[in-house]
Structure formats: C-alpha cells, structure tokens
Copies of this chain bind each other. A is one copy, B any other.
Amino acid sequence: MTIHWDERYARRARLMTGSAIRELLKLTEQPDFISLAGGLPAPESFPIAEVATAAQAILRERGTQALQYGATEGYRPLRELIARRMSGGGLTVAVENVLITSGSQQALDLLGKVFLDAGDRVLVESPTYLAALQAWNGYEATYLEAPMDGAGLDPDALGSHLRRVPKFIYCVPNFQNPTGVTLALDRRHRLVQLAAAHGVPIVEDDPYGALRFEGDPLPSLLALVGASDNGASGRDAGGVIHLSTFSKTLAPGLRVGWVVAPAEVIARLALAKQGTDLHTGTLDQCIVHELLAGGQIEAGLGAIVARYRERRDAMLAALTEHFPATARWTHPDGGMFVWVTLPPGADAVELLPAAIEQGVAFVPGAAFYPNGGGERTLRLNFSNASPERITEGIARLGAVLREY
C-alpha cells in the first residue's frame, strides 16, 4: 500500500497556494532580465564589513552564548534596546512588550496562530500586503477590505466593516506594500479613535518607516494610542500590535524582526513561537544588537535613503517618459514600491507573459486583493535594480504596453 499524500493534507494545506511573487522570482534569474517584481533591498547597501566585524567580536567575546539555545522571547539586550528606542513622546515600551521574531513574516504567522479561527474576519487595506494574506489564509481567515486613496485608507468608510467585529485591522501606514501610499496624520488619529471605540485591535506593520525620502515622519499608530488613554492597561500600548524588522535597514538574510504589543499579547505570541521554532537565531540577534547599539544601522540609513530616492526618481521619470498618458501611478515618499493603474481595459495578468518575454517582470496587482479585483493594477519595485536598469526596465514595459 502506498501513501496517497493528497488525501492526508489538512484542509488549510489544500487552501494554501504559492505566492505569485516568489514563483516569479524563480523565472527571472537570467542575467539580462530586469525584475521589478520582487521586494529585495539593494544588496549594495548591506554593511558587509560591519556585519563581519560584529560577528568576530561576538564570537570572540561571547561565542558560547551566541551559538547556544536562547530564550523564546529573544536576546534580552536586543529586546531592551528596542524597548528603549521605541519609547518616548508619551509612549513607554518595556522589555515585556517586545518579542523578537524570525523576520516580520513570522509575526504575521504568529498573529494568525494566536488570533484566527477558521472564518474569522480581518479588516485589511485594499490592496494589502500579499504575504500577510498568505500567512492568514493558512488559518482560513476571511477579509473585509478598506478602500484606499492617495492618503491611505479612509477611516470614515469603515463603519459597516467595524460593526462586523473583525479580529483585527491590518494596516501598513508608511509607504505601503504594494501601493507606496502613506496614511495621512488626520486619518491616523481617526483610525485609532474608531478602532478603540469598537474595541478592535490594530496590527500596524511598519517595515519601511525608516526609509523616508522626503517630508516629516508621522507618528506611528502605536505612538498615538500609547500617548492617549486608550491603553488596555498601564504601561502597555493599548490596542496596537506593532511589527517591524531589520530586513530593510540592515539585511533580510539575518531574519530578525520584532513585535511591540501589550505584555499579555507578547506572552501569547511567545508561547506560539515556542512551538514554532523555539527562538530566532542567536548569532543573528547578537549581530543585530551589536550594530544597533553601535549606531551602524542608523549610520547606514542615510545612504540607503539616498540610493532608494534616486531609484524612485528614475522610475517616476521613466514612467512619465515611456507609459501611456492614460496610465496613473503613485508617488511614494519612501519605501520600495510604486503602484501603477493601467489604461482602462488593460489586464496586468495578461500583460505579464509578454513582459517576461521582453525581459522585465512586475507583480500583477490582483494578487494583493483578497477577494478579487485590481486587474488594471501592478506593483513595481525600485529598491533592487540600479537607476539605469530601472529606466531600461520601464522602457521595455512601456513598449510592451504600446504593443498590447
């Protein structure tokens, strides 16, 4: 008798399907190919020498600790440093409010594990981050969609959704993935008010906040809630679960992210993490701590921002030059993505094979809508390729669009 694997898979496994982005990445490894599809940081920005120096110091000074099992909650000096750096302006973050995760992706998965039963509703921006959907599809979530414009989601359009008691609201307020749009300050205030009034927590995902090219930084939803009296308990940060990562400001290969949340939520997430991977890599956490404590991560930010700004500018200029006048696109103040709306009648999924044939790739926007739609949209990444390659890639795509 042989094993029929398909019959053995769990219901959720049968629902899980591949990420369009990652499957695309596999197609686009030929040398002259220009992929604007991924979400990779610029490799030229990795502080390789600094990582090497930190690794040597750590292994020399506390090598046995860096190679041993560690606490599920994370390397305590790193948690303390994150708590200290995130506190301020009325917000107090204690070490008990911080969990280190294996990248932000793990935080999304742990949130699903702790909060989502099959059929539970999550209120997401529309469009929203693809890999969050992928994580929560594994828990059989359903989605309510909050329409967005150039100032982010509109809180005042959320009433009927909030009355349907979503388990949480998922929001990427800064330079959102996929649109590049930033949630306006007045809407931030209104969103945290409304969420508190309805007793619905907000999951604030902020991987890109440090990558601001222009304009003043806006307060996080966490800071707005923490600075008011909405907190569920004393020093905890009320109804906001805040996620971030070192993947964009240091290096994604280290897989170190973090969560800030009320201590009781952190304890639950840690319990779930224990059964999931025991803890995040110790050496990786020590390296991040060393470079955060030593100021090298902050020192590197200026160069990353300057590099990405130049690439965004190259992309926006090339779009103006090569795309039809009836197409529209966002003008992100930071981050890694531009969002394009194609001329009426166009379909990005149909366009993709021709684009790949011409040596350029993007992600069709439909992938970012949990309940369908977005056929006319696509996401372009500007962080990974050089300005010249971006210009060439957009020119290729413009030619494909004219043929289409």
Q: Which residues of A, 187-235, contact B by the 8 Å Cβ criterion?
A: 196-201, 230-232
- Indicate if the CB atoms of B17 and A46 lie closer than 8 Å: no
- Indicate if the CB atoms of A131 and B275 lie closer than 8 Å: yes
Q: A95 to chain B: closest CB distance in Å?
A: 14
What separation, in Å, do the CA atoms of A133 and B63 have in the docked complex? 31
- Indicate if the CB atoms of B68 and A253 lie closer than 8 Å: yes
Q: Decide if A303 is an interface residue (CB 8 Å cutoff).
A: no
- Indicate if the CB atoms of B271 and A283 lie closer than 8 Å: no
- Indicate if the CB atoms of B238 and A255 lie closer than 8 Å: no
Q: A47 to chain B: closest CB distance in Å?
A: 9
Q: Mark contacts of A146-188 with chain B using CB atoms, 8 A cut-off: 1 yes-contact digit, 0 otherwise.
A: 0000000000000000000001100000000000000000000
- Indicate if the CB atoms of B265 and A281 lie closer than 8 Å: no
A52 partner, pick from B60, B108, B238, B284, beta carbons under 8 A? B60
Q: Decide if A249 is an interface residue (CB 8 Å cutoff).
A: no
Copies per complex of this chain: 2
- Indicate if the CB atoms of A17 and B271 lie closer than 8 Å: yes
Q: Decide if A254 is an interface residue (CB 8 Å cutoff).
A: yes
Contacts of A64 in B (CB 8 A): 43-44, 46, 48
Q: Given A46-B67, A48-B64, are A114 and B9 also a contact pair (CB < 8 Å)?
A: yes
A255 partner, pick from B65, B197, B265, B277, beta carbons under 8 A? B277
Q: Given A276-B109, A277-B102, A284-B283, are A67 and B48 also a contact pair (CB < 8 Å)?
A: yes
Cβ-closest 10 pairs across A and B? A253-B282, A48-B63, A67-B251, A43-B64, A67-B253, A1-B199, A52-B59, A134-B275, A135-B275, A13-B114
What are 27 A-B pairs with beta-carbon distances under 8 A?
A2-B196, A2-B199, A3-B199, A3-B200, A3-B201, A4-B199, A9-B114, A9-B115, A10-B116, A10-B117, A13-B268, A16-B275, A22-B274, A43-B64, A46-B64, A52-B59, A52-B63, A55-B56, A56-B56, A65-B253, A67-B253, A69-B247, A70-B253, A253-B281, A253-B282, A281-B281, A281-B284
